Amino acid sequence: MKDPKAVGMAAAALALAAIPWGVEAQLARNSRAPVDITADQLELVNSQCSAIYRGGAEALQETSRLRSDQLKIIYAPAPAGAGKNGCSTDLLRMEATGSVFYVTPEQRVRGDQAVYDAKAQTLTVTGSVVASRGQDAMKGERLVVNTVSGDARMEGGGDRSSRRVRTVIYPGARPDAPK
Q: What pLDDT is attached to residue 29? A: 57
The pTM for the full model equals 0.74
Q: What pLDDT is attached to residue 83? A: 56
Q: Cα(129)–Cα(112) distance, rounded to whole angstroms?
A: 7
Q: What pLDDT is attached to residue 106? A: 79
- 8-state DSSP, 19: -
CB atoms within 10 A of CB 66: 25
Q: Cα(58)–Cα(56) distance, rounded to whole angstroms?
A: 6
Beta bridge partners of 175: none
Q: What pLDDT is attached to residue 36? A: 87
Which parts of the chain sit beneath pLDDT 70? 1-31, 81-85, 158-162, 173-179
Q: What pLDDT is attached to residue 159? A: 61
Q: Would you say 106 and 133 are in contact if contact means Cβ atoms under 8 Å apart?
A: yes
Kindly tell me the number of DSSP H helices and DSSP E strands found in the chain: 1, 10
Q: Would you say 149 and 56 are in contact if contact means Cβ atoms under 8 Å apart?
A: no
Helix (H, G, I), strand (E, B) or coil at 157: coil
